[in-house]
Amino acid sequence: AQHRFEELDGYALDGRAREVLDGLGFSQEMMDGDVGKLSGGWKMRVALARILLMRPDVMLLDEPSNHLDLESLIWLEQFLKGYDGALLMTSHDREFMNRIVN
């Protein structure tokens, strides 16, 4: 457990989590609030944030741009461009995909 904690840079996890949640459009109030009170779209963003914070070697994303506003979409695009692992993604937004893949 300690190895995985260090692998995930656990000591900086709170700051990274807030950075990811902020990038996905969460206000400070939402970050500090009850996830159960969020709408389905916001819960989807929470699930996406959890995946991004895990730093997996391979990420499978199904329509990650759904429920995102323009600012969050731009942030996610930049995050995924900097992702070092393998990324398998489906999206109806061809332009979004084209900007991410190399």
Query: pLDDT grade, residue 82 (50/70/90)?
Result: very high
Q: Give tens-digit pLDDT for 30-41.
A: 999 999 999 999
Question: What dotted CATH number matches 2-100?
Answer: 3.40.50.300
Q: What residue segments make up the domains of the chain, in order of their start?
A: 2-100
List Cα–Cα distances, 76 to 1, 21, 53, 58, in angstroms.
29, 11, 12, 16
pTM above 0.95, yes or no: no
User: Comparing C-alpha atoms, which of 59, 67, 77, 60 is closest to residue 23?
Assistant: 77
Residue 40, pLDDT score = 93
pLDDT single digits (tens) 46-79 = 999 999 998 899 999 999 998 899 999 999 999 9
CA distance 14 to 17: 5
